[in-house]
Amino acid sequence: MVFEKIAEMIADKVDMDVSEIKPETTLEDLGIDSLDVTEIAMDIESEFDIEFEADASMTTVADIVAAVEKKVG
């Protein structure tokens, strides 16, 4: 559920088909820069109603999903 929502947000951000976003996809593969990550993090905050900071250790979509799942329980 969290993965699907985040994959949708990322697909929207990078203008790709959501089916191309896999958990193991790296942010580098997607051509995402640090401001894109900040934008996605801010969208995550409003979508899931949590405080969320992205950091440099998050290199794949799965990393972001895991961090969000930890917050939403």
Our CB check for another protein shows the closer of 1 and 35 to be: 35
3-state secondary structure of 64: helix
Neighbour tally for 46: CB within 10 Å:
9
In whole angstroms, how close is the CB of 3 to another protein at the nearest point?
23
CA of 28: how far to CAs of 15, 16, 32, 48, 62, in Å? 15, 14, 6, 24, 13
43 a catalytic residue = no
Min dist. Cβ of residue 56 to another protein (A): 10
Instruction: Pick out residues in 12-51 that bind another protein (CB under 8 A).
Output: 33-35, 37-39, 41-42
Q: Would you tell me which residues interact with another protein (CB under 8 A)?
A: 33-35, 37-39, 41-42, 54
